[in-house]
Amino acid sequence: MTETSEALHHELAGLLTYINRVREEIATISRPADEEHHFDTMADQLDAVIKATDDASNTIMGCAENNDDIITELRKTVTDKVQLGLLEKISNNGMDIIQACSFQDLTSQRVTKVARSITYVEERVQALAEVWGKEEIDKVNVKGLDKTEDEKLLNGPALDPNESIDQDAIDALFD
């Protein structure tokens, strides 16, 4: 074997090894141990995080604003300077709460970027899987797909309220 063909053979072997490793990784991504954590459900989970933080922030800010309205009404009836000072402190605390809730917008923007990245990776993985073919990917032996009994229980909150367990079923677990 000539030096050139030996180098070519070496490079081809390295490339084939790399391609096989990528196939294994694609197969692992295509068939995760936890079917609930496919890319599409990851994006859904992140969207749920955005909605939950938005809802919580709106509730907190609404309560703080309502408290400020109550404080405004109390100021009309209170004449004691100490009590007025305390009402001012409560009002300032409410404003601090409202300002702190502004984190939600930044959080939402960052989580949206992550969701877009996940979607991008999913599209690339799908394209590679299509190039190799589902049958070829399914042939790859993927290690570590079995979940422990504890992992099978860790599903997190249901995205759809109709899929969640009702309180009676939860209570029955503790009986």
End-to-end CA distance of the chain: 75
Over the stretch 78-96, which tens digit does the pLDDT of each residue have? 999 999 999 999 999 999 9
List the pLDDT tens digit at each of the 175 positions of the chain. 688 877 776 777 677 677 767 766 666 665 555 554 455 567 777 888 888 888 889 999 999 999 999 999 999 999 999 999 999 999 999 999 998 888 777 888 888 888 888 778 777 777 777 777 767 766 666 665 556 666 656 566 666 666 667 777 777 777 7
Q: Which of 106, 124, 108 is closest to 30 using CA atoms?
A: 124
Residues 120, 39: Cα–Cα separation, whole Å = 10
What token pair was written down for 85?
């000072």
Rg (the chain; Cα; Å)? 28
Residue 80 burial by CB count (10 A; 0-12/13-18/19+): exposed, middle or buried? exposed
